[in-house]
Amino acid sequence: MKKTIRNKEFLLFVLAVCLATFTMEMINGRFWLTDFQVYYSAAQNFFHGQPVYQVCFDMGSGYYKYSPVILFFFLPLCFLSYKIAAIIYFFILGLVYWYTFALILKILKRYFFTMAIKHEGLLVSLSFIFILIYFVREMHLGNVNIIMLVLCCQALWYYLERKPALGSLFFGLVLLTKPFYLLLLLPLLWRKNWKAIAWSGLVLVCGGLIPFLYTGISGGFALYSGWFRTILSHGQAFPGMGSLDYILRQNVFPALPGYAEYIIMLVACGLAVWFILDNLKSERDSKVGNIYPEGNFIFEWFLLIALLPVLFKNDWVQLQLSAPLITFMIFYISGTKKYWLIPVMIILLFFFSANSDDLLGKELSGKLVKMGLMGLSNFLLIMVSLSMFLDFRKKNSRKFQKQTPV
């Protein structure tokens, strides 16, 4: 009963923030949802047999960049006027935010913080507040980043529940939308979750073939040709102010060669594999069953999600992918009562969460973004969360009930 009440309270809180954001956007004449306009227009073109790729549907980066099959999810909205479709999509995104944090909380409660924690609803609301500036931008643009996050979390949940087909359905949809999420294959590969990998491959094949049923063979090949060209050119559209490559170029090595970003990716992947292998070694060497495989797998998954905007150039709004780690950190501090970590969190979260034109002014806010401080604070948050996880696992692993490994 209490869990239901907390979820309802958090739902009402998110709904109130959605309504406030919607009202302000309407009053200020900023209810644009420019990214959604791209998806809406591309789906309309697809339905009417017109070009989808290499067509600018809006100013700036207004090109449709996702795979052809994703257009089918936007087709139902195309039968409505753009204004009505945009309002429906806006509030769908709001519900997705609520469900994302509810799912993150469910995972953390099930596999980490099994004991009752006081003010649980307040803590998850605090986690949401820390990504509020990303929420406002996401809702203003009508992007799909939060949808990617909830799909990843849902895939994780089904993998933990030993339902690889369902988990891979959600993971496959993520890969069909944004292929660079392939980074999340690392824990599946090294943990030899072959069923999950096989099901993901099947989803990709089926998702890849579906557009051919609508457009025919020649039309399908034309679509994929346009998509591949768009993917190759999209990387140059954003400076990637949250990426490690941008931070190093901006503040340390201005003459860093172009291939440096690929070296950073390879090093990061190597470190991630080392972390996964070390976890597996600890699990194998444990003689008393005190290593928690599910906890390791969950943190590996959340860690790699948070690293995506660090490694790949994109809009800074993708920094919100650290939401699962931030939620873990807040519950860790509350559960372990290590309140001396609060000042550290406040400093890091100030640059991560408070960089708003309304709070700091447009000029100062713009400087902080261009300096890469939001990305740097995100990277440091990831490192701090890793140290918290290792400490938590060390002190609590013997308390976990032994469960079936992932």
What is the full per-residue pLDDT of the chain (406 aa) written as tens digits?
455 445 678 999 999 999 999 999 999 999 999 999 999 999 999 999 999 998 988 766 789 999 999 999 999 999 999 999 999 999 999 999 999 999 999 999 999 988 777 888 899 999 999 999 999 999 999 999 999 999 999 999 999 999 999 999 999 999 999 999 999 999 999 999 999 999 999 999 999 999 999 999 999 999 999 999 988 876 555 667 889 998 998 888 888 888 899 999 999 999 999 999 999 988 887 644 445 789 999 999 999 999 999 999 888 899 999 999 999 999 999 988 899 999 999 999 888 987 777 677 778 777 887 888 899 999 999 999 999 999 988 876 554 444 433 4
Distance CA 106, CA 108 (A): 6
Distance CA 155, CA 168 (A): 6
Residue 20's SS3 state is helix
Kindly state the tokens that stand for 299. 């943190």
Q: Give residue 6's pLDDT.
A: 56
Q: Give residue 81's pLDDT.
A: 96
Q: Give residue 323's pLDDT.
A: 98
Element (H, E) at 359: helix 357-360
Element (H, E) at 210: helix 194-234
**With contact defined as beta carbons under 8 Å apart, do 311 and 181 qualify?**
no
**With contact defined as beta carbons under 8 Å apart, do 268 and 260 qualify?**
no
What does residue 26 show for φ and ψ, rounded to 5 degrees? -70, -45
**Hunting for tokens 């503040």 — which residue is that?**
251
Q: Give residue 366's pLDDT.
A: 77
Q: Give residue 59's pLDDT.
A: 66
Q: Give residue 405's pLDDT.
A: 39
Q: What is the pTM of this model?
A: 0.93
Distance CA 33, CA 35 (A): 6
How far is residue 271 from each of residues 224, 229, 274, 277, measured CA to CA in Å? 33, 31, 5, 10
**With contact defined as beta carbons under 8 Å apart, do 220 and 211 qualify?**
yes
Kindly state the tokens that stand for 209. 């073939």
Tally the residues of the chain.
Answer: 406
Q: Give residue 258's pLDDT.
A: 81
